[in-house]
Amino acid sequence: MLRSLSTGVSGLVQSQQNLDVIGNNIANVNTTGYKTSRIDFADSFNETIQGSGAAGSMQIGSGVSTGGIHSQYTQGAMTRTSVATDLAITGNGFFVVKDQTSGNLLATRAGEFRLDDQGYLITNEGMRVQGFSDAALSVRGDIQIDPTGAPAGASPTALISSYTIDSAGQIHVRMDDGTEFVRGQVLMQNFTDPGALVKEGNNLLSGFSHAGPLAQTEVAGTSGLGKITSGALEMSNVDMTSEFASLITAQRAFQANARIITTSDEILQELVNLKR
């Protein structure tokens, strides 16, 4: 009876963790670039009552444990915003941004970018998007959209009238005197094991070294990377139908494990009453 009590408790704990994961998925159904998580269970330690022999071994399990919680990096739906600095990835890959305080590089699928007062392309938290930072597309660093690198024939007083970002991430700038040039290029990173990345909040991921990154950031559409769509955002890949079905299953599993504890308690009560 004591074994069944602990087994039931382990089932309750894991069922609660499953509910936590499902609840977090549902809560982030409208979070840009969010990737749904899945919990995997594994049987716990087994007590061997009889060793292996002609009649086979006899073992009794002691419950369930969490084998792992993994993010599912499948493509999310696209939504048009018509904002030039909003970027979405179709296919594999991640944008890379830099924390100006710590200098750390982080990955993200959420392309909700904007320009700061200096023209740097940044996240909502002020982290700068990384790529080719010069007009010659040779220096990697913080991407800035300004008149630097304009053609020699451009007016020295000309200002930026518009800019676009193509599917390869190149930033095409048009000046108000009619001249055009490529200011820089958004580059991307990819990982052989994105499940090893660590979620830092705000749609940011760290832990590159354990996830098998490319040797360096590369151009979209090369090295197995997807392409970039400007004026759009990738939405969450949470499937509400699947999550609610999982929610029902998790609820029933919780109830079943609670019943194991209740039944074990009733049997223990009968044992206590044998003396009467």
Per-residue pLDDT tens digits of the chain, which is 276 residues long: 578 888 999 999 999 999 999 999 999 999 999 999 999 999 887 777 766 665 667 788 888 999 999 999 999 999 999 999 999 999 999 999 999 999 999 999 999 999 999 999 999 999 999 999 999 999 999 999 999 999 988 888 899 999 999 999 999 999 999 999 999 999 999 999 999 999 999 999 999 999 999 999 999 999 999 999 999 999 999 999 999 999 999 999 999 999 999 998 888 888 888 876
Other CB atoms within 10 A of residue 267 CB: 12
Do 242 and 132 belong to one domain? no
Tell me, yes or no, whether 113 lies in a domain.
yes
What tokens appear for 146 in the block? 């300004």
> Among residues 106, 133, 105, which one has the least CA distance to residue 119?
133
User: CA-to-CA distance for 22 and 69, rounded, in angstroms?
Assistant: 11
Q: Would you say residue 38 lies in a domain?
A: yes
pLDDT at 262: 93
What is the structure's pLDDT at 51? 64
Residue 29 belongs to some domain of the structure: yes
Neighbours of 199 (CB within 10 A): 14
The β-bridge partners of 122 are 114, 128
- Is 198 part of a structural domain of the chain? yes
41 and 129 housed in the same domain: no
Q: Are 117 and 224 found together in one domain?
A: yes
Question: 93 and 70, same structural domain?
Answer: no
- pTM of the predicted structure, to 2 decimals: 0.88
CA–CA separation, 66 and 12 (whole Å):
12
Q: Tell me how crowded residue 59 is: count the other CB atoms within 10 A of its CB.
A: 14
Q: Are residues 201 and 252 in the same domain?
A: no
Helix, strand or coil for residue 210? helix
Q: Say what the pLDDT of residue 270 is.
A: 87
Residues 143 and 119 in one domain: yes
Q: Which domain holds residue 269?
A: 2-48+58-74+238-275
Among residues 200, 217, 233, which one ends one of the domains?
A: 233
Q: Domain for residue 53, yes or no?
A: no
What pLDDT, on a 0 to 100 scale, did the predictor assign at position 132?
A: 98
> In this structure, are 214 and 250 located in the same domain?
no
Distance between CA 66 and CA 78 in Å, rounded? 33
CA atoms 103, 109, 115, 121: torsion sign: positive
My answer on whether 192 and 100 are in the same domain is yes
Q: Are residues 206 and 167 in the same domain?
A: yes
Token pair of 77, please? 């739906």
Residue-level pLDDT at 59: 80
* Residue at 167 is within a domain: yes
Count CB neighbours of 181 within 10 A.
16
Do 87 and 207 lie in a common domain? yes
Amino acid at 134: D
- What is the number of structural domains in the chain? 2
The tokens for 95 are: 């944008």
**Residue 53: what pLDDT?**
63
Tokens of 199: 């979620």
Q: In this structure, is residue 97 part of a structural domain?
A: yes
The reply to whether 251 and 224 lie within a common domain is no
Distance of CA 62 to the CA centre of its chain: 33
Q: Do 134 and 164 belong together in one domain? A: yes
Q: Is 264 within the bounds of a domain?
A: yes
d(CA 26, CA 241): 10
pLDDT score for 276: 67
Integer distance in angstroms from the first to the last C-alpha of the chain? 20
Residues 91-131 have pLDDT tens digits of: 999 999 999 999 999 999 999 999 999 999 999 999 999 99
